[in-house]
Amino acid sequence: MKTRITELFGIEHPVIQGGMHYVGLAELASAVSNAGALGIITGLTQRTPERLANEIARCRDMTDKPFGVNLSFLPAVNPPDYAGYIRAIIDGGVKIVETAGNNPQKWLPMMKDAGIKVIHKCTSVRHALKAESIGCDAISVDGFECGGHPGEDDVPNFILLPRAAEELTIPFVASGGMADGRSLVAALALGADGMNMGTRFMATKEAPIHDNVKQAIVGASELDTRIIMRPLRNTERVFANAATDEVLRKERELGAGIRFEDIAAELAGAYPRIMQQGDMQSGVWSCGMVVGLIHDVPTVKQLIDSIMGEAHAIIEKRLAGLAAAP
């Protein structure tokens, strides 16, 4: 399947693995790339640029296909060494970077000079247009269904994607609610050039996370996520568990006066405890509503082959049949 995204990134299938904290390691990124899609290493999971360099080298040993690095630009009193991370990306020969969070404009010249293609995550058309105007090569359009941070506008992909198609001239992929061949065909029909999947890739054999997480995803329904941190204007969609309930209780009790410090116990250090140790109630973790569509834990190759087979069958049989009907 050839789209502007496959052409831009030199991949076989228009499917991108999202950059997920403590999930986007070399094992998963290489498996996704080897299956013909685009694997992504999560940069800030690696605590230093040197560790990111090592992770890139590990991934390079596992695949000769294109893969990228996710780099989130976060508001912080003591920000990460972004220049060091980008240098590690450049020195590692990586040519694709997924940026997220704050405006990446400050760092684009450094990446562009190295021939890196940048896809920026956006939750609104206005932010996507800004990313296009500063020179990003593609956009990941994240609807309200997505796990992690869906922004503050609450626009789902059935509206957000066609709006993006009306306004953007650069390629974009759909993110949020993407799980299978139906998702891909729908995204293409709404104007996207492919899809980005996060939660769905967590429930694969190669995902380097505890089996408790995978089984929680398989056992969940579309009703098992919650929205937290809305009073802080840092809205996040997370899996429903005891820690999530505690955050929501504090938000109700403290109201508009809540501070991040009030919920830090449920957030700080949660990902290693959950993703690596499988302690499922000890903290909050990002998860999309798409859990309702996830019923198994295949290999990455089985998943991508299934997605592409289903997508082609829908296009060539069901949709073509409808078009040919008298």
- The whole-chain average pLDDT of the chain stands at 97
27-33: average pLDDT? 98
pLDDT score, position 77:
74
pLDDT tens for 154-167 read 999 999 999 999 99
Q: Is 202 a member of any domain? A: yes
Tens digits of residue pLDDT in 119-139: 999 999 999 999 999 999 999
Q: Note whether residue 215 is domain-resident.
A: no
Assess if residue 320 is contained within a domain: no
Sign of the Cα torsion 276, 279, 283, 285 reads: positive
| Number of independent structural domains in the chain | 1
Q: Which domain holds residue 156?
A: 4-208
Residue-wise pLDDT tens digits, 77-111: 789 999 999 999 999 999 999 999 999 999 999 99
pLDDT for 74 beyond 90: no
Decide if 66 is inside a domain.
yes
Note the pLDDT tens digit of each residue in 244-292. Answer: 999 999 999 999 999 999 999 999 899 999 999 999 999 999 999 999 9
- Cα–Cα–Cα angle for 201, 71, 146, rounded to 5 degrees: 45
Taking the alpha carbons of 107, 235, 198, 216 in that order, is the dihedral positive or negative?
positive
Share of the chain above pLDDT 90, in %: 95
What digits encode the pLDDT tens for the residues 203-253? 999 999 999 999 999 999 999 999 999 999 999 999 999 999 999 999 999
Where residue 67 falls among pLDDT bands split at 50, 70, 90? very high
**Cβ atoms within 10 A of the Cβ of 267, count?**
18
Residue among 2, 11, 190, 1 at smallest CA distance from 117 = 11
Residue 75: predicted pLDDT = 79
- pTM of this prediction? 0.96
Contact predicate 231/247, CB 8 Å: no
At 58, which CATH number? Answer: 3.20.20.70
pLDDT of the residue at 323: 82
Alpha carbon distance 316, 326 (integer Å): 17
Count CB-CB contacts under 10 A for residue 317.
10
**For residue 317, is it within any domain?**
no
pLDDT for 224 equals 98
Give the pLDDT score at 326: 67
The predicted pLDDT at position 78 comes to 87
Write out the H or E segment, with its range, that includes residue 196. Answer: strand 195-197
Report yes or no on 262 lying in a domain: no
The answer as to whether 224 is a domain residue is no
Residue 181 — very low, low, confident or very high, per pLDDT cuts 50/70/90?
very high
User: Residue 263 domain-assigned?
Assistant: no
Strand partners, 218: none
